[in-house]
Amino acid sequence: MVELSIILVHWKEIRQTQAAIDAIQSWSNIDHEIYIVQNEEDEDQFSDYNDVKSILSSENLGYGGGNNLALAHAIRRSRYSLLLNSDATIEEGDVQLLLQAIKGNDTIFSIGPVIEEYNEETRNQYYGGRDIASHLNTRISNIDEVKLMHNTNVAKVPYTIGTIFLLDNLKLSQVGLFDETYFFSGEVADLCYRAANCDYYSATCLDAKGYHNIGGNTSRPTLYKYYNLRNRLLYIKKHNLGWSKQIKWYTYLIKDLIYFLMRVDFQQVRVDYICLLHSVTHTYGNSNAHFR
């Protein structure tokens, strides 16, 4: 059994994934193995990497489904799993800090570093995730919002940011894998919520740092907005968090739809309408086809 399985879900942008593999292969102090999950691929694009375990999926299973394919193997082969976005980077020394923190507290389910997210125009630092049922902006950007655990530099947070996400595989076997119904956005918060119901914590190691290059993501006004809002309602309904929270987000969606209707922005009107329709009819999973 190895100490750490590192899982990357690859989709489309091969250069990012290759750069991530190359960086990890330079690590020498952590006993690890690498999994590449190729979403919506029919041929192995990473066959040149002899020490990489490649998993092909002929359909796009999303963040949760893609990671689940590799986690099903990893939980039998390693003590911990590191889920890493292919456009995110973290140094081996920072991963060692994450491992040290999770080994030092048997109630921690997941842990991540402080995430510095950037593109050509902006650079922001995040310390974990807020409750997605209550907040629109779920990234914690103010360090004063987090609470340190047991006089350490490890903070307890509602959920660990999924960009760089270290899991305890033994606890994962108890809590269960990702709920693939979410497809994209919300599945990490859902997993951490279920872990909390088993008396485990999600955390951020304030001594460790990782980086996420969000580039010029053109899908944020459409796909990202749709899943971000739809899956909040899924999360609230699944965990029986009350009608008041449902009403809050339905009201938000209706007001947003009216606002963009008045501005004659039919792209945004369409996003809000589809989100409302799917939330009412409980239509979840992969909805990418609606936005092509």
Higher pLDDT among residues 215 and 202, named by residue: 202
Q: Where among 197, 213, 229 does a domain terminate?
A: 213
For range 67-71, the mean pLDDT: 97
| Averaged confidence pLDDT in the chain | 93
Answer yes or no: are the C-beta atoms of 4 and 31 closer than 8 Å.
Answer: yes
Q: Where among 198, 213, 228 does a domain terminate?
A: 213
For range 107-129, the mean pLDDT: 95
Please indicate, yes or no, whether residues 191 and 242 belong to a single structural domain of this protein. Answer: no
Please indicate, yes or no, whether residues 112 and 224 belong to a single structural domain of this protein. Answer: no
Residues 6+ positions from 149 with CB-CB distance below 8 Å:
105, 155, 156, 201, 203
Q: Bridge partners of 143?
A: none
* Ordered DSSP codes for 222-285: IIIHHHHHHHHHHHHHHTT--HHHHHHHHHHHHHHHHHHHHTT-HHHHHHHHHHHHHHHHT--S
Please indicate, yes or no, whether residues 116 and 252 belong to a single structural domain of this protein. Answer: no
Q: Total structural domains in the chain? A: 2
Please indicate, yes or no, whether residues 170 and 125 belong to a single structural domain of this protein. Answer: yes
- Structural domain harbouring 124: 2-213
Q: Is the pLDDT assigned to residue 71 strictly greater than 60? A: yes
Distance CA 291, CA 278 (A): 14
For range 59-72, the mean pLDDT: 95
CATH number of the domain bearing residue 91: 3.90.550.10
222-280 residue pLDDT tens: 999 999 999 999 999 999 999 999 999 999 999 999 999 999 999 999 999 999 999 99
Q: Is the pLDDT assigned to residue 13 strictly greater than 90? A: no
State the pLDDT at residue 254.
Answer: 98
